[in-house]
Amino acid sequence: MKNDTKIEQQLRNILSEEFIDIDPPENFTKNILAKLPEVESRTSHQSFKHICGCMWDKITRPITFSFSPLQLAVVLMVFCGSAVVFAPLNFSKVASRPVTMVKQQPVRFALYDPEQKFSSAVVIGSFNKWQSRGFEMSYDEQQKTWILEHELPEGDYEYVFLVNGESSIPDPRALFYVQDSFGNKNSLIQVGGVRHDL
Amino acid sequence: MTCSFIRLLSLKKYSISILFFSGLLVSFPALASTTDISTKSFSKQVEMANEAKISKELLLLITQDALEDRLESQQASCLLAKLIAAQREGLPLNVFEEKVIEGRAKGVSASRICSAVNAMLVEMQFSKQLLHELTGKAPDKSIIKNMVEVSAQGISRAQQTAFVTAYASRSLKSIVEGLKLYALLKQAGVSFNELQGFMRLVMKDDATLMRWKEVTQLFSIVIATGVDPDDFITKASSAVEAGILPNAFARNFALQPRSLGVTERNSEIN
């Protein structure tokens, strides 16, 4: 190792003495540059690839964090504290959100039939798509009336009584009626509102 | 896994509709053998009705009735043509569908159902045109539906036009709500002058209309006790004018202090 440095030093001395007054040849720099291989200029696509490559290197290169147990404890405490403070707020927001529930109201349909002329009576209307199933009325001997009690969502509904399985008759006790477009009337019932509040 | 399940579901749905329409198409020759009407035109109409997104439930109902001779194919074609026309004009199709189902449930003949559907179609076209002229844009389907209900409650075209013109400055929703209230009170026997006066007061602003739109319910209870309709409306008009809330007005008739569809607290806030 020491020999190497000695030789290097000797060579330096010789060369510096020998070439100290000699100028470089004419066009020295130009000639050297001309002999160097040409580097192709990058196209925009290549530049983009190059940038992407650099970025990829940066984001995929592993990063090492170093922290003390005390620092870790502080970070964990801040995280847990914020969770305790903000979580109930968010929960209360969700809990206070209105739940859209269809409010059902009890409705009583009654058809007075003192001589029990009808063998059956059913309520059909816009609330049951004019289908009789599940809306059959039962005859009350004491009141001499066909009765059906049912719960309906709030709203306005048209209805009629289908008697003996074939004839439709509007409710004689209804105050409001609607033309049914077939030359007859449908009774109108308003479910909800003051009628049910009173 | 989820993706393949969804694909399976959509395939199933697709298969069901293929089965449904195959069933319909297979049924046409049988229909032709039982009726003299051209099957070709009916089958074409079924296709058109399907394209017009008429409910499959109703399509099946009409086709089945035609097959089982409960409905002549001429009547079935008439019904389908009206439904297709309603869909093309952007009218609320469910109203027509419900009317067909209602007619069948009541045992109404097919020709009368077809006439009724046609009358509704004409009425809806009128309402749509009237509201279009008022606002300059096509009205919402729910608004048209409400207008038809008003018409079924006995309000003539002239009365509709007069009401809409009188309250042209108000929103379309308010006009329709007001018209519904007007129709019910008119039907219940309130005289023209009393009704006009009451409507003028109620249509003053949205808050007043929303407070008093369910007065018909209170009306029906009060009338049952023997109160004259005009007396009731006169008192109601005075209450509106004096700024008395509906729940306070209800106390005048010895009814329990409750609101008119709006809770007492909300009513006072308004």
Q: Quick check: B119 and A179 CB within 8 A?
A: no
Counted domains in chain A:
1
Reduced to 3 states, what is the DSSP secondary structure of residue B145? helix
**What is the mean predicted confidence (pLDDT) over B59-87?**
84
Residue A130 lies in a domain: yes
pLDDT bin (cut points 50, 70, 90) of residue B32 is: very low
A121 - beta bridge partners?
A: A163
A156 - beta bridge partners?
A: A190
Residue A32 lies in a domain: no
pLDDT at A39 exceeding the cut of 70? no
Q: Quick check: A179 and B98 CB within 8 A?
A: no
**What is the mean predicted confidence (pLDDT) over B166-180?**
91
Contacts of A191 (CB under 8 A, 6+ apart): A105, A107, A152, A153, A154, A155, A156, A157
Contacts of A195 (CB under 8 A, 6+ apart): B217, B220, B221
| Structure confidence at residue B268 (pLDDT) | 40
Do the beta carbons of residue B59 and residue B67 sit within 8 Å?
Answer: no
Looking at per-residue pLDDT, the higher value among A5 and A42 belongs to: A5
pLDDT bin (cut points 50, 70, 90) of residue A61 is: confident
Residues 118-137 of A with CB under 8 A from B: 124, 126, 129-132
Which residues does chain B have within 8 Å of residue A190's beta carbon, measured at their own beta carbons? 214, 216-217
Strand-pair category, A185-191 with A155-163:
antiparallel
What is chain A's length? Answer: 198
pLDDT at B111 exceeding the cut of 60? yes
Residue A126 lies in a domain: yes
Q: How far apart are CA B261 and CA B16, in angstroms?
A: 45
| Structure confidence at residue B2 (pLDDT) | 46
Of the candidates B112, B113, B258, the beta carbon closest to that of A198 is on: B258
| Radius of gyration, CA atoms only, chain A | 49
Q: How many C-beta atoms lie closer than 10 Å to residue B93's C-beta?
A: 18
Contacts of B61 (CB under 8 A, 6+ apart): B100, B101, B104
Q: Is B265 on the interface with A (CB under 8 A)?
A: no
Estimate the crossing angle of helix B172-187 against helix B157-166, to 10 degrees. Answer: 130
- Tell me the longest C-alpha to C-alpha distance in chain B: 72
Q: Is A162 on the interface with B (CB under 8 A)?
A: yes
| Radius of gyration, CA atoms only, chain B | 24
Q: Quick check: B101 and A177 CB within 8 A?
A: no
Q: Quick check: A179 and B187 CB within 8 A?
A: no
The closest of B165, B220, B163 to B187, measured between CA atoms, is: B220
- For A117, the domain range is 104-197
Q: How far apart are CA B163 and CA B185, in angstroms?
A: 14
**Averaged pLDDT of chain B:** 79
Domain with residue A139: its CATH number is: 2.60.40.10
Q: How far apart are CA A122 and CA B61, in angstroms?
A: 22
Q: pLDDT (tens digit, 9 = 90+) per residue, B239-269?
A: 999 988 887 888 777 665 443 444 444 444 3
Q: pLDDT (tens digit, 9 = 90+) per residue, A12-37?
A: 776 666 555 567 677 877 888 787 77
A136 - beta bridge partners?
A: A122
ipTM of the complex: 0.73
Q: Is B66 on the interface with A (CB under 8 A)?
A: no
CA atoms within 13 A on the CB side of B43: 15
Q: pLDDT (tens digit, 9 = 90+) per residue, A133-186?
A: 889 999 999 999 999 999 999 888 999 999 998 899 999 988 889 999 999 999
Residue A178 lies in a domain: yes
Q: How far apart are CA B92 and CA A90, in angstroms?
A: 41
Do the beta carbons of residue B89 and residue B128 sit within 8 Å?
Answer: yes
Q: Is A175 on the interface with B (CB under 8 A)?
A: yes
Alpha helices in A19-43 (DSSP H): 28-35
Alpha helices in chain B (DSSP H): 2-34, 39-51, 56-67, 73-88, 93-105, 110-135, 141-152, 157-166, 172-187, 192-202, 206-212, 215-224, 229-241, 246-251, 264-269
Phi, then psi, of B213 in degrees rounded to 5 = -70, -20
pLDDT at B75 exceeding the cut of 90? no
Residue A39 lies in a domain: no
| Structure confidence at residue B35 (pLDDT) | 41
Which residues does chain B have within 8 Å of residue A182's beta carbon, measured at their own beta carbons? 103, 106, 108, 112-113, 116
Q: Quick check: A129 and B152 CB within 8 A?
A: no
pLDDT at A90 exceeding the cut of 90? no
pLDDT bin (cut points 50, 70, 90) of residue B104 is: confident
Per-residue DSSP letter, A136? B
The closest of B216, B219, B207 to B245, measured between CA atoms, is: B207
pLDDT at B210 exceeding the cut of 80? yes
